[in-house]
Structure 1
Amino acid sequence: MPDSAEVFAPTDRSRVRRSHQRAQYDKDAVFAVVDSTPLCHVGYVIDGQPYVTPTMQWREGEKIYWHGSSASRMLRAVKGGIPVCVTVTHFDGMVMARSPFHHSANYRTAMLFGRAHALEDRDAKEASLKIMMDGLFPGRWEELRGNTDQELKATTVVAMEIEDAVAKVRSGPPIDDEEDYATVQCWAGVLPRRAVWGTPEPDPKMDRPHPVPSYLKEIPYE
């Protein structure tokens, strides 16, 4: 069993009640899901109306960050400290069973709960954006011109201390009723799904050819 310091203690909002055997509360499992894709969905409530907004995220320690336009209704709302649920999901395949009831999906998902606040200090905001860029494309930040004061003013970066979180994972073949293995004659198994990067496409407005940077060459293409 992981040490208690390495586990998010289940709470009423994070405890998995259905298929609880797939729940993983240890931090390594949660962070593995979060760190393997930049896309997340931020759930929150404004004036009694629930919203879910897709955005890009990055993590540093036990804080998760996201950013966007300072005019964003979502960011204006969540940076004030309202409760937030951040969800990260990977869809890994269709599970095709011997009955409609036992068809399923293979997936990895994480739900993280907390309250967000805005980074107000200019240097802290820029440092966090650099962490995002370095996590995606190590070395690219140094190739770019810096952010202007106006661009940073127009950008809101929020941080959320992860108060509690859970990962839920399903993998492997279908789980059928025992008698169906012998009596139902049809194909059963998993149709895997994989997300892959395409070949880099150069901007036609580049004034002269530039080689594909090394950090892109290291990404496996389709």
Structure 2
Amino acid sequence: MQPTPRTTPSRLAKRAQYDEETVYSILDESMFCTVSFTIDGQPFALPTAFARYEDRIYLHGSVGSHFIRELEKGIPVCISVMLTDALVVAKSAFHHSVNYRSVVVFSNAEKVEDTTLKWEALRWITEKIVPNSWEYLRPMTESEVRKTTVLSFPIVEASAKLRTGMPKDDEEDQELPIWSGLIPLRTVRETPVGDEFSKNVSLPEHLTHLPS
């Protein structure tokens, strides 16, 4: 991907990366994104689940959703994700930071009309949130699929931005007797908790080996 004025950070541009491997890996690890757009001058931001397949982002919503109906018109959007890896604790509040991996994509939605692709996209999103669950679940009905809109967004104008490493304290502060370093963060899937209708149902294998 080539940098554009919109994907070039105005600050710390050296942290930006434009290779597909980096951008795609961050998108694939992120379960949720935020789709930002404007309608009649009013800004909106829609948090939602998504999946990437090849060079496109797929998301879904109700055919009755006002936001989905606006997006399917192909209006410009900005899609963003962020993974936090650690809190960066410096010796001064000014130099506190976060180790993160983020992606920003500028794109326009295309409504998925092909029935086979629509089913596949719904499977990709489902499998991303709960891996290996699609075949276990009660199959979606054709009526349910008709009530769902799937949108795809080409990943053409995009960039990743990352921060790694320890705090960057001022040289004169480095020997102060104040602790500095990293507080690692991670998101994990914990042990599933069943509802009242699953008391006599064994936990399926795909839920006993959830990825961290």
Shift of 1:122: 2.8
Q: Given the two structures, how large is their TM-score scaled by the length of structure 2?
A: 0.93
Instruction: State how far apart, in whole Å, the 2-side matches of 1:136 and 1:168 are.
Output: 24
Q: Percent identity?
A: 40
Question: Which residue is equivalent to 2:67?
Answer: 74
Shift of 1:138: 4.4
Unaligned runs of 5+ in 2: none
Q: How many residues end up aligned between the 2 structures?
A: 212
Instruction: State how far apart, in whole Å, the 2-side matches of 1:194 and 1:127 are.
Output: 29
After TM superposition, list the pairs within 5 Å mapping 1:148-167 onto structure 2.
148-167=141-160
Answering whether residue 168 of structure 2 is matched by residue 192 of structure 1, we say no
Q: 1:31 aligns with which of 14, 24, 45?
A: 24
Shift of 1:149: 2.5
Instruction: State how far apart, in whole Å, the 1-side matches of 2:135 and 2:88 are.
Output: 44
After TM superposition, list the pairs within 5 Å mapping 1:102-121 onto structure 2.
102-121=95-114
Could you tell me which amino acid in structure 2 is paired with residue 174 of structure 1? P
After TM superposition, list the pairs within 5 Å mapping 1:47-126 onto structure 2.
47-126=40-119
Instruction: State how far apart, in whole Å, the 1-side matches of 2:188 and 2:135 are.
Output: 26
Shift of 1:101: 1.5
Could you tell me which amino acid in structure 1 is paired with residue 80 of structure 2? T
Instruction: State how far apart, in whole Å, the 2-side matches of 1:97 and 1:51 are.
Output: 34
Q: 2:204 aligns with which of 188, 207, 213?
A: 213
Shift of 1:140: 2.2
Could you tell me which amino acid in structure 2 is paired with residue 102 of structure 1? H
Q: Say if 1:44 and 1:85, in contact at 8 Å, map to a contact too.
A: yes
Q: Say if 1:114 and 1:160, in contact at 8 Å, map to a contact too.
A: yes
* CA-atom RMSD in angstroms: 1.7
Q: Secondary structure at the match of 2:207?
A: helix
Runs (4+) of structure 1 moved beyond 6 Å? Answer: none
Q: Given the two structures, how large is their TM-score scaled by the length of structure 1?
A: 0.89
Shift of 1:114: 0.9
Could you tell me which amino acid in structure 2 is paired with residue 189 of structure 1? G
